[in-house]
Structure 1
Amino acid sequence: MEPQTLHRTELLQVAEAVAREKGIEPGEVIVAMEQAIQKAGRAKYGQEHDIRAEMDRRTGEIRLRRYLTVADPIENEFTEVDLKTAQLRKPDAKLGDVLIDELPPIDLGRIAAQTAKQVIVQKVREAERTRQYEEYKDRVGEIVNGIVKRVEFGNVTVDLGKAEAMMRRDETLPRESHRTGDRVRAYIYDVRQEMRGPQIFLSRAHPQFMAKLFAQEVPEIYDGIIEIKSVARDPGSRAKIAVISHDSSIDPVGACVGMRGSRVQAVVGELQGEKIDIIPWSPDPATFVVNALAPAEVTKVVLDEEQGRIEVVVPDEQLSLAIGRRGQNVRLASQLTGWDIDILTEEEESARRQEEFRSRSQMFIDALDVDDVIAHLLVAEGFTSVEQVAYVPLDDLSDIEGFDEEVAEELRQRAQNFLDEQERQNQEQRRTLGVTDEVAAIEGLSAAMLVRLGEKGIKTLDDLGDLAGDELVELLGELAPGEEEANNIIMAARAHWFENEPAGAAAGDEPQETEAGEEA
């Protein structure tokens, strides 16, 4: 009896040793052993039987049992027993009871032992994977240190100690080579639970890798005194980082650079010599874009907030510096600020301004039948469309030098006549195109928009209702209203779809049930 007891306690010791090595609970290893012995038992007595194994957590004793459910009628003779037979064994047995037969301990043969080992290994591996996922899923955004385990086609497998991670080829720095055994620092950007276990993805090219490196080197960033607002990187080549200080006595750029550049050089060294521009962040977009284009100097900035674009004018000799090699400087500045940046030289901007002045003047000459002097005066005063002339207060026109009230009134009248004639022509054209009056009656659609819709084949309420708001904006191009207004137009076109539905159904109400005894 003694050797057998020793053997049993040895099983518990094995379970504890495996659990300690893999960093999982001993209970999970014991469950794996139970499943392995259960599988071996079913292999011996028949897979169709309900055989279960239990290991005593204190003594290590293994008990093998067969379970039979009392049922009537019997659907499975291997796992069920009829009531009459059950009562012969247990007089007070009733339907639904479970009878348990103790089975003799099995002596694992070579095949059974091999199968049991595979089950244990599999279950332990699954437990280990679950532990890895639980440990690393909340560590996304951290920098970790590891040792290169292997490199295959540029993809690097990194041993983190308790887990393995993958750094794909496109997440490494260009011209950076990793050899087995090298130490590597990287940023965890994703942890996913996949069929083959948890996958931890590392990156050295991610913008946040650089931000986290600065947080390690600059105590003020770690303490929250200085904040990194945005980062843009061309990995291995150049980067820009925008910083702001929440303490007016601390210069954010100077703190990040460090004494004689010591702090920034530590980051540059880790990033294989990547050049880093540290830029003061500003809530004013124009100032921020000017800062972001450093080292280039900017003479003028024009914002277009609706389009999210910004025009930057630079001296002719600064153009190549502002754009950077292969457009690198302006591309990084655009990523950093979130604005699309167009760079013009002073000469190009001057030529474009002259062309705009000429084309607007010509528009007023044609529309209002005036000479070029009056047209030039209107453009110089900031008028950009005939609508502005037609509907601006009379004083704004008469205040222009050289205009009196009579000239202003005449200009306004001519502008209104031109717009009325344009409206009439557009209405005529939209009828010719087959756009229905119901569509024309929708608020928010001008005659010019109706013509554009007719040209695109949108002629009825159903045609318009089938569109989404962004599709309408795309179809109308430069005539398009804002996205919210476009959605309102679409909803107005769909209104007739719901007119014939009962009010309750439209509101999603359930039909009322009639009281008992009433005829429907």
Structure 2
Amino acid sequence: MAITSANQLELLQTAEAVAREKMIDPGLVVEAMEESLARAAKSRYGSEMDIRVKIDRKTGRATFTRVRTVVADEELENYQSELTVKQAKQYMADPQIGDTFVEEVPPVEMGRIAAQSAKQVILQKVREAERDRQFNEFKDRVGTIINGVVKREEYGNVIVDIGTGEGILRRNEKIGREAYRPNDRIRCFIKDVRRETRGPQVFLSRTAPEFMSELFKMEVPEIYDGIIEIKAVARDPGSRAKIGVISYDSSIDPVGACVGMRGSRVQAVVNELQGEKIDIIPWSDDMPTFLVNALQPAEVTKVVLDEDAERIEVVVPEEQLSLAIGRRGQNVRLASQLTGLDIDIMTEAEESARRQKEFEARTKLFVDKLDLDEFFAQLLVSEGFTNLEEVAYVDLDELLVIDGVDEDTAKELQARAADCLEAEAKAALDHARQLGAEDSLIEFDGLTPQMVEALAEDGVKTLEDFATCADWELAGGWTTVNGERVKDEGLLEKFEVSLEEAQHMVMNARVLLGWVDPSEIEPEEEEAAAEDEDGAEESEA
């Protein structure tokens, strides 16, 4: 098949028809044709030749050219596509290395095999262009809602026609009791778009928390306009959900706006989610206050927040316990997801028993260590003293406020506490040395004898051993395993060593050993100090 004037215009007509059908740029189809014709020409003239084809976008005329590049004599490898400077002088006036010599060659006659090959190249290029178009179209729509039509179901996964492509709604992304038949209309959230060899894969979801957020944005104009913001969403898909909302206009109630007149707005979302019950909660930057709201409809008596451990203790009346926990723990689980905190719920009786146990333990400590009678020890605990260090090093005036304590008694208490601490430190140091702790670790600044003892018991006996520890190994931390937070006990955690303190001590040990150049960490400390100063200035302003 030769490219004659009779079918030159057909090339452009074919390109435009294919481009319209596949909704891609006609230029891409023409480029595919050029590549396919060039491949066919190489099979005729020789694969080592650099044959290129250019199709005129107006007339459809295909021009075949042979391109040769000027190279140095010693670099000449392919005689068909390269030529030396000396050879190039036959065709060019002043050839330079890197110049190209282009000459037109006669069009080729395309046999059946060449024509079939050209057709495959064109189809492949068109297919790639179509996939790129689909990917670019849907990647910008990630995080939005799309309407589609169910095509079929495969192994529990629903294939959805979304206009110019297909999306997949996996089994675990469906709301539990939903069932679909072909041609059913469906509304989904575009969760992810990936470029794969078989084409762009559009992954849909109806269980994502963001799906609920987008539904509210469609139903509540104040959210769309930015007057109200959804700060957090927690869902048990198909059963219950909680959303935290805040209003940036004091005249608009965020909860009322989301509920709507007679519940019309929230009901529209509930109907879309197959009857999923939705609790709309006012957001608060004060986490305990927000948690109290999140545990509705249960009433909360007391909240104790541990920010370092990201845990929170909630005390509720006995009759409110089952309501706070919810059916199968649903209420407390959703509240935990909403706040990002682990929640421990206890009754007032359980909290009272725990406090009584702590009171008795501290009383026994003072009775045993300071040789006090039980009544006097209880007085110390009632005044807020929890350990020997507080008694030994507190200002004398704080002991004098206790009933029956004069100056001599206060000094005697501090002396006993100091002697006890000194004896405990000596015992800990002797035990650490027996375990093999070296002087380099014992004399390291920041470690008490009890800390050295704890380290030695775990096999950390030298400064080198200490310098290889990670900060979380010393201070402890939390790890998420299978969606649940698991406690990592630190070697020095019982001494209330923070993560920052542990990091600072480990870095100092590495500097002492010459493992780290002090100049490398000083700039970081200066930057941190500068940030603290800036923060202080802002707070003063």
- Asked if these proteins are the same fold (TM beyond 0.5), I'd say yes
Equivalent position amino acid for 2:444 in 1: I
Choose which of 488, 491, 494 in structure 1 pairs with 2:507. Answer: 491
Partner secondary structure for residue 65 of structure 2: strand
Q: Identify the range of structure 1 (150-159 vs 268-277) with the bigger mean alpha-carbon deviation.
A: 150-159
1:51 aligned residue: 51
Equivalent position amino acid for 1:161 in 2: G
Verify the 8 A CA contact 1:293 1:330 in the aligned structure 2: yes
Q: Does 1:476 align with 2:492?
A: yes
Superposition map of 1:382-397 within 5 A: 382-397=384-399
1:410-435 per-position Cα deviation (integer Å, ceiling 9, x unaligned): 22221111111111111111111222
| CA RMSD in angstroms, aligned pairs only | 2.4
Number of equivalenced pairs: 504
Structure 1 residue 94 displacement after superposition = 6.5
Q: Does 1:191 align with 2:193?
A: yes
Structure 1 residue 275 displacement after superposition = 1.1
2:218 aligned residue: 216
2:534 aligned residue: none
Choose which of 391, 404, 407 in structure 1 pairs with 2:406. Answer: 404
Q: Identify the range of structure 1 (3-12 vs 241-250) with the bigger mean alpha-carbon deviation.
A: 3-12
Hey, what's the Cα distance between the residues in 1 that align with 2:144 and 2:321?
A: 39
Normalised by the length of structure 2, the TM-score is: 0.87
Cα distance change of structure 1 residues 94 and 332 upon mapping to structure 2, 3 Å threshold: closer
Cα distance change of structure 1 residues 132 and 415 upon mapping to structure 2, 3 Å threshold: same
Structure 1 residue 89 displacement after superposition = 5.8
Verify the 8 A CA contact 2:510 2:516 in the aligned structure 1: no
Cα distance change of structure 1 residues 76 and 368 upon mapping to structure 2, 3 Å threshold: same
Hey, what's the Cα distance between the residues in 2 that align with 1:314 and 1:91?
A: 96
Verify the 8 A CA contact 1:286 1:303 in the aligned structure 2: yes
Structure 1 residue 134 displacement after superposition = 2.6
Partner secondary structure for residue 417 of structure 1: helix
Equivalent position amino acid for 1:174 in 2: G
Structure 1 residue 222 displacement after superposition = 1.0
Equivalent position amino acid for 1:60 in 2: G
Verify the 8 A CA contact 2:511 2:518 in the aligned structure 1: no
1:305-349 per-position Cα deviation (integer Å, ceiling 9, x unaligned): 232221111111211111112211111101101221100012211
Hey, what's the Cα distance between the residues in 2 that align with 1:239 and 1:90?
A: 78
Superposition map of 1:342-361 within 5 A: 342-361=344-363
Percent of aligned pairs sharing the same letter: 59
Q: Identify the range of structure 1 (360-369 vs 471-480) with the bigger mean alpha-carbon deviation.
A: 471-480
Equivalent position amino acid for 1:355 in 2: K
2:182 aligned residue: 180
Equivalent position amino acid for 2:167 in 1: A
Choose which of 444, 452, 461 in structure 2 pairs with 1:442. Answer: 444
Partner secondary structure for residue 312 of structure 1: strand
Verify the 8 A CA contact 1:442 1:489 in the aligned structure 2: no
Equivalent position amino acid for 1:496 in 2: L
Superposition map of 1:326-365 within 5 A: 326-365=328-367
Structure 1 residue 235 displacement after superposition = 1.2
Cα distance change of structure 1 residues 89 and 283 upon mapping to structure 2, 3 Å threshold: closer
1:69-95 per-position Cα deviation (integer Å, ceiling 9, x unaligned): 345354122323456665556676676
Normalised by the length of structure 1, the TM-score is: 0.91
Verify the 8 A CA contact 2:134 2:200 in the aligned structure 1: yes
Hey, what's the Cα distance between the residues in 1 that align with 2:345 and 2:96?
A: 88
Cα distance change of structure 1 residues 94 and 259 upon mapping to structure 2, 3 Å threshold: closer
Partner secondary structure for residue 343 of structure 2: strand
Structure 1 residue 123 displacement after superposition = 1.0
Hey, what's the Cα distance between the residues in 2 that align with 1:310 and 1:368?
A: 34
Equivalent position amino acid for 1:266 in 2: A
Choose which of 104, 107, 112 in structure 1 pairs with 2:106. Answer: 104
Choose which of 424, 427, 448 in structure 1 pairs with 2:426. Answer: 424
1:514 aligned residue: none
1:433-481 per-position Cα deviation (integer Å, ceiling 9, x unaligned): 2222222222221211111110111111111111221222223232251
Verify the 8 A CA contact 1:215 1:221 in the aligned structure 2: yes
2:10 aligned residue: 10
Partner secondary structure for residue 144 of structure 1: strand
Cα distance change of structure 1 residues 445 and 241 upon mapping to structure 2, 3 Å threshold: same
Structure 1 residue 372 displacement after superposition = 0.7
Structure 1 residue 62 displacement after superposition = 0.8
Structure 1 residue 218 displacement after superposition = 0.7
Verify the 8 A CA contact 2:48 2:78 in the aligned structure 1: no
1:165 aligned residue: 167
Partner secondary structure for residue 126 of structure 1: helix
Verify the 8 A CA contact 1:472 1:480 in the aligned structure 2: no
Partner secondary structure for residue 279 of structure 2: strand
Hey, what's the Cα distance between the residues in 2 that align with 1:70 and 1:129?
A: 38
Q: Identify the range of structure 1 (199-208 vs 228-237) with the bigger mean alpha-carbon deviation.
A: 199-208
Structure 1 residue 503 displacement after superposition = 9.1
Verify the 8 A CA contact 2:511 2:517 in the aligned structure 1: no
1:28 aligned residue: 28
Cα distance change of structure 1 residues 499 and 123 upon mapping to structure 2, 3 Å threshold: closer
2:531 aligned residue: none
Q: Identify the range of structure 1 (241-250 vs 174-183) with the bigger mean alpha-carbon deviation.
A: 174-183
Hey, what's the Cα distance between the residues in 2 that align with 1:502 and 1:380?
A: 47
1:223-258 per-position Cα deviation (integer Å, ceiling 9, x unaligned): 111111111111111110011111222211111111
Superposition map of 1:268-287 within 5 A: 268-287=270-289
Partner secondary structure for residue 375 of structure 2: helix
1:466 aligned residue: 468
Unpaired runs of 5+ in structure 2? Answer: 476-489, 524-541
Cα distance change of structure 1 residues 287 and 275 upon mapping to structure 2, 3 Å threshold: same
Q: Identify the range of structure 1 (460-469 vs 19-28) with the bigger mean alpha-carbon deviation.
A: 19-28
Cα distance change of structure 1 residues 99 and 52 upon mapping to structure 2, 3 Å threshold: same
Q: Identify the range of structure 1 (300-309 vs 482-491) with the bigger mean alpha-carbon deviation.
A: 300-309
Equivalent position amino acid for 1:255 in 2: A
Structure 1 residue 301 displacement after superposition = 1.6
Partner secondary structure for residue 498 of structure 1: coil
1:387-428 per-position Cα deviation (integer Å, ceiling 9, x unaligned): 111112111111112323232222222111111111111111
1:159-196 per-position Cα deviation (integer Å, ceiling 9, x unaligned): 22123333222222112223332222111222333444
Equivalent position amino acid for 1:207 in 2: P
Cα distance change of structure 1 residues 272 and 391 upon mapping to structure 2, 3 Å threshold: same
Cα distance change of structure 1 residues 195 and 452 upon mapping to structure 2, 3 Å threshold: farther
Equivalent position amino acid for 1:98 in 2: T
Structure 1 residue 502 displacement after superposition = 12
Partner secondary structure for residue 186 of structure 2: strand
2:484 aligned residue: none
Verify the 8 A CA contact 1:439 1:493 in the aligned structure 2: no
Structure 1 residue 369 displacement after superposition = 1.0
Partner secondary structure for residue 52 of structure 2: strand
Cα distance change of structure 1 residues 435 and 502 upon mapping to structure 2, 3 Å threshold: closer
Hey, what's the Cα distance between the residues in 1 that align with 2:58 and 2:168?
A: 41
Choose which of 286, 290, 306 in structure 1 pairs with 2:308. Answer: 306
Cα distance change of structure 1 residues 21 and 498 upon mapping to structure 2, 3 Å threshold: same
Hey, what's the Cα distance between the residues in 2 that align with 1:4 and 1:68?
A: 26
Verify the 8 A CA contact 1:214 1:256 in the aligned structure 2: yes
Structure 1 residue 371 displacement after superposition = 0.8
Cα distance change of structure 1 residues 308 and 414 upon mapping to structure 2, 3 Å threshold: same
Verify the 8 A CA contact 2:304 2:312 in the aligned structure 1: yes
